[in-house]
Amino acid sequence: MENKTVLEMRNIHKSFPGVRALQGVNFTLREGEIHALMGENGAGKSTLIKVLTGVYGKDEGEIFLKGKEKAVAIRSPQDAQKLGISTVYQEITLCPNLSVAENMYIGRTSGVCQNWKKMNKDADKILQSLDIPAKATQQLASCSIAVQQMVAIARAVDMDCKVLILDEPTSSLDDQEVEKLFGLMRDLKARGVGIIFVTHFLDQVYEVCDKITVLRDGKLVGEYEIKDLPRVQLVSKMLGKDLDDLSDIKGENAAYDKEDASKPVFETEGLVSNAGIKPFDFYIKKGEVNGFTGLLGSGRSECVRAIFGADRVIGGTVKKNGKVIKITKPLDAMKNGIAYLPEDRKIDGIVGDLSVRENIILALQVLKGFFKPFSKAEANQFADEYIKLLGIKTASADTPIKSLSGGNQQKVILARWLLTHPEYLILDEPTRGIDVGTKIDIQKLVLKLASEGMSVTFISSETDEMLRTCSRLIVMRDRKVVGELSGDDLTQNKIMSTIAGGDRE
């Protein structure tokens, strides 16, 4: 063990029923280093972190810490904390009803009484030294998520942590907040803390990290200096294959351009819902992929929700093949061959305790009616077919969906809608929070479906993703459709200027 090494994990193995989550993984962290842990969903990042923090026990392997002769045993999060390993999770693990100072000190000081004065003073000192914009006496719930995360880090720092694990800390932060967090991370790095940084955002890795360790399918791919590993190579290492040239995808979707003359399958006229959008006109042709783009909150989701009947429609009409249809609730839309993959899969999409199979057949079951259940054999056949088709990584069709990774949950929901064989598929942020590999899978799938004649509307916050898949973009600003781009106009710059509003120039 080198002198500067603060943590070394050697040959870690961990299995769950049906899955070998970690197979002989090594990981080394040095003093004053920000070390990115990268991998697709299901690559074993979370498992490795959980082994390190004592949430899971390991089947095999050793963990060494600086200053300890022998391998250490970590049996609980408390053990890990005592050894100087602290974790800050994406979901805040503090108590929102207590004050900032209490959250920093509760559960780790001795004695019977609470000395508020001393505690508040100490807390303020640490907050100041780390430049965190919070007061010790403030209630935690009154701080922004970013500040709450920083308070969690401050707690860890004060506990004299040697190893700080940041598990997707930036997912719910805006750019400025991310910048602040990075400032704090660099500060800690200068103090000699070793930081493990888990994230999906490649940009952020290249902005703050020194080293990258890549995992794939539970195995170690390698440890790299950040400067030795360009972005494209990182992605290909994570995926385990040479990255398909993404521009190739675009080639595939040329097929439907020829059918340009065909009539729209679905169109709306002055459609408006109670969600606060302005009336909008919209159409989609057979085999077309189009998209709504715009800033967050510009009304992209609200438009498609209105088409699907998920929000209450208060005006306008929807036509299918030229005939007016009445959609007042999602079931009406489903019966007319529309499928909608909602934005937030946790709230609107998955039924966590049901199995993958039940989640897949849910929408079709609704269409068929609840009193005519599918036979076990039918259900199994559907489930197996789509698990294979979409490459869903699950132990079996009986696994509860909540135990799957985010990307795989998304694929299950997608399978659910594909099973209803819709004519028109609406995908609202289908790639949010999932790894690069699955993202590309989904994009390819969209284009494949379109080439088979399905119409698809695709919404994503990442414009390059939209450019890759859509042949026509509807641009929204302030809950209003402000433009439509197609053909040569489909460029990043053009989209930006349309969103920003060209009329100001």
Partner 1 sequence: MSFMNRLRDKSKNMTDTNLLLLITIVVFFAMYIGAILFQGKGFLKPQTFFNILNANASLIILSCGMSLVMITGGIDISVGGVTALVSMCCAVYLDYHNGNVFVAVLIALAIGLAFGLVQGFLVAYLDIQPFIVTLAGMFFARGMTTIVNTNPFNVQNEAFVALKETRVIVPGFGSVNKLGKYVPAYIEIGVVVAILIVIVLFCVLRWTKLGRSFYAVGGNSQSALMLGINVKRTKFLSHLICGLLAGVGGFVYFMHVGSGSASHASGMEMNAIASSIIGGTMLTGGVGNIIGTFFGVLSLSTIQNIVSSAGLDQAWWTGITIAAMLCLFLVIQSIVMARKKRALRKN
For position 457 contacting partner 1 by CB under 8 A, the verdict is no
Stretch that binds partner 1, among 42-50, 124-132, 133-141, 217-225 (CB under 8 A): 133-141
447 beta partners: none
Min separation Cβ 113 and partner 1, Å: 6
Instruction: Out of 24, 118, 128, 142, point to the residue binding partner 1 (CB under 8 A).
Output: 142
* Residue nearer to partner 1 on the CB measure, 112 or 377: 112
Contact between 492 and partner 1 by CB under 8 A: the answer reads no
Alpha-carbon distance values, 414 to 288, 292, 336, 441 (Å)? 18, 19, 18, 12
Of the two residues 40 and 167, which places its CB atom closer to partner 1 in the complex?
167
Question: Any contact of residue 133 with partner 1 (CB under 8 A)?
Answer: no
* Interatomic CA distance for residues 238 and 232, integer angstroms: 10
Enumerate residues 6+ apart whose C-beta is below 8 A from 95.
Answer: 102, 103, 106, 140
Rounded to a whole number of angstroms, the minimum distance from the CB of residue 96 to partner 1 is 6
Which is nearer to partner 1, 95 or 249 (by Cβ)? Answer: 95
Smallest separation, CB 403 to partner 1 (Å): 17
145 binds partner 1 (CB under 8 A): no
* Dihedral over Cα of 138, 141, 144, 146: its sign: positive
The distance of closest approach from Cβ of residue 79 to partner 1 in the complex, given in angstroms and rounded to an integer, is: 11
Minimum distance from residue 205 beta carbon to partner 1 (Å): 26
Q: 78 or 129, CB closer to partner 1? A: 78
Q: Pick the piece of the chain touching partner 1 (CB under 8 A) from 111-119, 217-225, 264-272, 461-469.
A: 111-119
CB of 109 to partner 1, least distance (A): 7
Which residue stretches of 11-95 are H helix?
Answer: 45-52, 77-82
Contacts (CB under 8 A) with partner 1, residues 19-78: 77-78
Question: Is 125 near partner 1 (CB under 8 A)?
Answer: no
Partners of 163 in the β-ladder: 85, 194
The two three-digit tokens of residue 2, written as one number: 């080198």
Q: Nearest 5 degrees, angle CA 31-CA 36-CA 40?
A: 155
Among 67, 111, 322, 369, binds partner 1 (CB under 8 A): 111
Angle, vertex CA 462, rays to CA 429 and CA 220, nearest 5: 90
**Least gap, CB of 91 to partner 1 (angstroms):** 9
Q: Which is nearer to partner 1, 99 or 355 (CB)?
A: 99
Q: Residue 193: which of 375, 390, 35, 324 has the closest Cα?
A: 35
> What six digits make up the tokens of 482?
């402000």
Contact between 112 and partner 1 by CB under 8 A: the answer reads yes
Provide the minimum distance between the beta carbon of 138 and partner 1 in the complex, in angstroms, as a whole number: 7
The 10 Å Cβ neighbour count of residue 352 is 13
Number of residues binding to partner 1, judged by CB under 8 A: 27
Using CB under 8 A, which residues numbered 78 to 97 contact partner 1? 78, 81, 92-97
**Torsion angle in degrees (nearest 10) through CA of 415, 421, 426, 430:** 10
Determine if 251 is a binding residue for partner 1 (CB under 8 A): no
| CB-CB contact of 8 with 68 (8 Å) | no
Can you say how many angstroms the Cα of residue 8 is from the centroid of all Cα atoms in its chain?
29
Distances (CA, A) of 226 to 168, 186, 204, 217, 402: 19, 16, 12, 22, 34
Applying CB under 8 A, the span of 61-69, 136-144, 178-186, 232-240 interacting with partner 1 comes to 136-144
Euclidean distance between CA atoms 189 and 41, whole angstroms? 27
Under 8 Å between Cβ of 478 and 297:
no
Contact with partner 1 (CB under 8 A): which of 11, 15, 23, 138? 138
Query: Is the four-CA dihedral 141, 146, 152, 157 of positive or negative sign?
Result: negative
The answer to whether residue 328 forms part of the interface with partner 1 (CB under 8 A) is no
Smallest gap from Cβ 75 to partner 1, in A, equals 14
121 binds partner 1 (CB under 8 A): no
Q: Report which residue type is found at 20.
A: R
Which residue in 41, 46, 103, 408 binds partner 1 (CB under 8 A)? 103
Chain-centre distance of CA 19, in angstroms? 22
Type of residue numbered 51: V
Among the listed residues 57, 129, 131, 141, the single contact to partner 1 using CB under 8 A: 141
User: In the complex, which residues of this chain contact partner 1 (CB under 8 A)?
Assistant: 77-78, 81, 92-99, 102-103, 106-109, 111-114, 116, 137-139, 141-142
